[in-house]
Copies of this chain bind each other. A is one copy, B any other.
Amino acid sequence: MDLAYSAEYEQFRNELRRFLKENKHRSPDMFATSFTGEERAKAARDWQRLLIEHGYAARTIPREYGGYGAEPDPLKSHIIAEEFARHRVRPGHSGDNRLVPTVLELGTEEQKQWLIPPTVRGEMTWCQGYSEPESGSDLASLTTHAHVDGDDFVINGQKIWTSGANRADMMFCLVRTEPDAPKHEGISYLIFSMDTPGIEVRPLITMTGEAFFNEVFFTDARVPTTQIIGKRGEGWFVANNTLKYEREGLGDPNQTESRLLELVTLMQRETIGGERVIDIPVYRDRLQKLQGRVLAMKYNSMRVLTSRSKGEEPGLPRWIVKLQGCELNHQIANLAIDALGELGTLYYGSPLLRDGGRWQQRYMMDLGLIIGGGTAQIQKNIIGERALGLPKEPKYASESS
């Protein structure tokens, strides 16, 4: 047990801090109000290029595909994330953390050269076409289908929960190409431009009033048969690679801790009958209960990070992060609302609004995250089966494969 970083990492951190100090002003968010959309986009691309040059973005992506080409080092990645957050500077990216690893692992050389460099540069952006209205938890039951006509797949069907579909250049998408195969074996993993004729995107308004997601409708959308990752019928197994990466990050305890500290500020600021809310025992006790849970999750993440930095699979400590983290965020928002009482019911645009309405927004958004990316029920199945080794539910008589 040693909470200090070794000299190598301290030096890495110091270099990064120096870099941030010198270059912070180039971060595109600084341009937010004074530049046009196109200038802003250019600033973002320049920033990403600068970060890749210094190894602070696309760090482990091979140089030949536009990355920095370093060996994976979870501690350095953690330091990068931590310092960017601490300095409130917009971090770089590695293209798309679901698609890029998948293409690197399973794409052809031609696909890698076509897709990865522009994606890493931020010039080709992606959305994910997996979920469908009738296949949520049971993803493999998807029915969006494609038949081959000449050199093209012709796609028909509907996707849902597609975040960013209205802005993305490209989609990676699961479609059923072998209708007669068993359900896990009839799916292919296709990639195509969102400008393809026959694709319609409709924003999906959520309870927060915002459109985080979209529905995407396909009507005879034609995609060249070469635009497939892996073989026909292997899409389910290709996608599982992507899913592995996607779920990371939901329930991040550092974010949770900073929300708790915001809540403390709120409770020190707001008063009831002249008394600070934080001094009112019932609220004070609820706050302390949450702090205990937040600390446990924070240290748990240090444990996960250590396992990763040693190349070990963290196991249970990792499997629980999404379930516990999203729940904790929801409860923090809940206490904030209760601490505000009537004022906690106000929302965007109201007089007397506190903290810009963000607690209500989070309260609802966090509930969405408890449901999304694997409902709490599915998470518990996963923990029970993968981490604790409990048996799956038996197949029942009427179930088709």
Instruction: Please name the residue on chain B nearest to A394 by beta carbon.
Output: B396
From B280, B282, B285, B396, contact of A396 by CB (8 A): B396
Distance in Å: Cβ of A290 to nearest Cβ of chain B: 15
Residue numbers of A with Cβ under 8 A of B are: 280-282, 285, 393-399
Q: SS class of chain A's interface: helix, strand, loop or mixed?
A: loop
| B contact residues around A395 at 8 Å (CB) | 396-397
Q: How far is the CB of A219 from chain B (nearest CB, A)?
A: 36
Q: How far is the CA of A395 from the CA of B399 in the complex (A)?
A: 10
Task: Give which listed residue, B285, B397, B399, contacts A282 with CB less than 8 A.
Answer: B285
- Which residues of chain B have C-beta atoms less than 8 A from A280's C-beta? 281
- A399–B396 Cα gap in the complex (Å)? 9
Q: Complex Cα distance A280/B399, Å?
A: 57
Report Cα–Cα, A397/B393, bound state, in Å.
11
Find chain B residues with CB under 8 A from A397 CB.
394-397, 399
Cβ contacts under 8 Å, A398 to chain B: 394
Contact partners of A396 in chain B: CB under 8 A = 393-397
Q: How far is the CB of A284 from chain B (nearest CB, A)?
A: 9
- For residue A286, which residue of chain B has the nearest CB? B282
A-B contact sample (6 more), CB < 8 A, given A396-B396, A397-B399: A281-B282, A282-B285, A393-B396, A394-B396, A394-B397, A395-B396
Residue of B nearest to A396 (CB): B394
Q: List 16 A-B contacts (CB under 8 A).
A: A280-B281, A281-B281, A281-B282, A282-B282, A282-B285, A393-B396, A394-B396, A394-B397, A394-B398, A394-B399, A395-B396, A395-B397, A396-B396, A396-B397, A397-B397, A397-B399
In the complex, what residue of chain B is closest to A281 when comparing beta carbons? Answer: B281
**With the chains together, A280 CA to B285 CA distance in Å?**
12
- Separation of A280 and B280 alpha carbons in the complex (Å): 11
Q: Which residues of B contact A282 (CB under 8 A)?
A: 281-282, 285
Bound CA span A252–B399, Å: 43
Closest to A283 in B: B281
Contacts of A399 in B (CB 8 A): 394, 397
- The CA of A285 and the CA of B286, in the complex, are separated in Å by 12
A396–B394 Cα distance when bound, in Å, is: 6
| Chain B residues within 8 Å of A393, by CB | 396
Alpha-carbon separation in the docked complex, A397 to B394 (Å): 8
A54 to chain B, nearest CB (A): 52
Cα-based distance from A290 to B365 in the complex (angstroms): 31
